[in-house]
Chain A
Amino acid sequence: MKLLTHNMLTSHVQGVIKGYPLIIKATEVKVNELEFSAPFVSRMIPKLEWSLISALNCTLIPDYEKDEEFLRKVHRILLEVEVVEGCLQCPESGREFPISKGVPNMLLIEDE
């Protein structure tokens, strides 16, 4: 699971009001090189919930479109860091969703 995906995932446990953001508990992380595209990153930035990214010591700078170094840093965070094993925890209910082989399982059981 890439951090870009994590930026969009929420908990949908019934009754939960604030299921976002999910807390990442990783036991295995890997870095996978991916082709960099400046237009992709700069257009993606406004679509993101930036607080999740700034939590990783990455402050949003003004005029980021022209700063390649900054864009490459964001590219690495969003697309190259992958959580392979671990889980995602609902911030409100505590329910844990396992991540296995890079795939989070967000299925709820009947009562949830």
Chain B
Amino acid sequence: MGLSLTKAAQWTTASSGTGKLEFTPMNESLLKEILRFVERFSSQHPQEAEHVFEEPLQWRTTLVASDFKTDYDISDSAVQSHEKDSEGLPLLQLSPPAVYVRSFSQLSKLVHLADGKKLEEVRACLEVYVKKRIMFRKVTMNESVVLFCFAFLRFHCRKVSLDPAAAKNEVELLKQLCSDGEKRVLKSLRYTSEFEFSNGCRTPLWRQVHGEICYLVIEPCDAETLYITYSTAGVFLNEVRLGRRESGYERTSDVYADLVTLLKSRSPHFQDFAAQELPSTHKIQHVESVDGEEQGQPQRSYEQQEKNVHEKAKQQHTVNKAGGRNKNEMCPRWSSFALLSTFGYVTIPLVRCVLKYCHTASYCCVICSFSFRKTSAGAMPGELTSESSTESEEEEEQPERRLEGDIDRLPEYWQIQKLFRYLKAGNQTTTALTLCAMMDLNLMQETCQLIIRDLGGLEILLNLLDTIEVRCKIGSLKILRKISHNVQISRTIVYTSGLQKIVTILDLPDKDLKALAAETIANVARFRRARRTVRKLNGIKKLVKLLDCVPNLAKLTENQEKDVEVARCGVLALWSCSKSRKNKEAIRKAGGIPLLGRLLKSPHANMLIPVVGTLQECASEESCRIAIQTKGMIKDLVKNLRSDNEELQMHCASAIFKCAEEEQTRDLVRKYKGLQQLVSLLGKADNKQLLAAATGAIWKCSISTENVAEFQKYNVLQTLVGLLTYQPDEVLVNVVGALGEFAQIPANKATIGKCGGIKPLVNLLTGTDQALLVNVTKAVGACATDKDNMTIIQQLDGVRLVWSLLKNPSPDVQSSAAWALCPCIENAKDAGEMVRSLVGGLTLILYLLKSTNNEVLASICAAITKIARDEDNLAVITDLGVIPLLTKLTDTTLPRVSCRACSIHYCCMWGSNRESFGKVGAVAPLVRFLKSKDAAVHLSTAKALYQLSWDPNNVIIMHATKVVKVSLSVVAAAFLTH
């Protein structure tokens, strides 16, 4: 919440123990502030100034009797003031060199008299008290007064400030008025939420940031139901209805100082009641409020707060008594209190009341310990929240980054705080100058960023965006642009509706402003909610509008240059936004893709990188891919692969990687000679990101066989095989994927084997990355169709490795592994023996027949087909119960039925399986397969039926299902088509 002046002031004590204030600029300015405060205190707070201290402030002064004028009794060197307390003792007494002062008014006067020496006097006074405390660890009454003086120093937030306790008190009070019968004043009063956070608020966390404490629903007797927000700034009506809260937070009435005032204005009945009854209730409530000024509304809320403090203080008091804690231990913590108050947590009335109560020492301790309770128990009041309204941020629920350690020791802290004070008070010229001064701070440093946030600076900066003064807006945005690199700041900007203001600026005609706003959005839109907010505010459309410029003119005028800069910032923002799926679509709908296409002609890398980056993000949506392709951007993407900027090359390759899902794009890449370019990028093996993108593009492009042929002109296979080792997974996935595609052509399989690709591939089977495993098994499977390769795979025990991947939790890996097993089993030497040697392997296969994933089922059936070719294995799986499992599958009407029929065909070749299939009812569904339109299904089904028909019972079933008729039509169809 703040920091202590005792800490801030740089004492020499640590080293020398003398308790002197060092002569540093910071001390100097602190002293000046204290001095200014003292000087003005009696005029600004006359009542408090008259308060007589129990013990005098006392220090060695340099003043002599002759310095004192009228109002003082002067005798020799001693001086006494005319002003006396009730017991007739003078309020100021000088007996050189000591001076005793017993009220603030006297202190003020003395300081005025001291004239040129006033700074020395204040310094001497402070030194005495700090020294004393250091020596005795003991606080006297005066110290509290001195510290209060500190507390006052930074009093610049004096808003009406309600807190959760105030809300609670008032609600409790009003609840008593909700009774039945004649005398009731209100029908009902309730919170919208029964859940109370530990800070006493009942609003969601993100509304607590706005200072909202709780929502209330009150039914008056004579008016319609009131929906009320109770916030630190006051009480007002909202639109919250149960069930539609999202939109209902807006204020719909004036802000009132408290609930009673609001109710008075809304319900005449309540007003009547309040006129008669409430004063007495007030009295009870304010029994401890000390001065009788109860006129204005703000006054009342002050008192409310006073009361709360009293209450808390009391509670704390009892706790302390019970705990038997020594008050002297607590007292040094006064400093933190001073600090708490520094930022407006404690308002004047509180101080006023404490001044009255500090006749008793224990009370002081109690209050200071209360204040300390709010800070962390350590050595330092660590949090820096600016006002009580943001108290919620202190709560632990928010995993917020907080400043740690003695930030008050940092010169930046005071500097920034001062500058924000100037910002609040300045006219346009001084505000702009102050903003300039702020720009000279190290805004990229996290400490500065967090100090700005914690001092409430973001709000001030964002508010400046509402002024009409362009220079202030520019200055503010220049700062926001930098500090928004910090995610915490970005979040705060979004949660406090700052993004709205920034997005609105995009509509203004001033180009500098547009560019800065877009750049800030680019920084802020790094998390999902921010991106969504930009879209909801129509920001995507506005950003797309910024892109409209001609970037590739030979010579730009100053104005055109600015347009290009605006466009660049716009693209940066779109790039950030394009990471959300809906935003990609929004960019396309707003006509962003063709405009990006135009910017793609720009010769500058700093423009091209965000442009290609955005395109690359968008290309994950099919609609965008088509747009990119049809607007002729592939040509430019390929062209920029030749750039000498690696980042740009990387984004281009990524864009091609994504776009090459489309066949036409793949052809276009070849047409524009992009393949060669991609291959040359493989040489940049040091830049892994680039390598990953390039290999990705090669993979996707190699889906077209023409491209594979083209690639082979540059001996890509050899290079790719070389990349199978010592590369990160991102690269490996793509390399292996490409190998899988290349291996679809028989000649390439041999090449892969010849250049030693099998071994690293098999090694990769032990990996964990699922995407990688899918590709590896695919590649291994493709290579296994080559006999020589298969020999190597078998030597390396590759089949077992593939088989064990069936245990992988990912269905993709399972099915890919099962498909890879098929060629392995088919081409392996002594395949039957090999399969049997894998302990538990067949059980695993049959277990996967229970999978719910279609692709897995199809691949497993295919594998079973291969396994069943070996009689012994067929016997084993029959024993393991393959028949009922397969029969169950014949019921489903799913794709890839041919595999299943096929597996039945092979399973039938053993023993009594034909009868078994008949018994479990597999025949009739098989006949239905014949009605399929797929010739492959016909073939395998016919084979299966042929096998089954060896059993007479099956023939009967077949006859019953009119197999002959169906078969004849199939045969006829087969003849017709061939």
* A, B: real partners: no
Q: Which residues of B line the A interface, CB within 8 A?
A: none
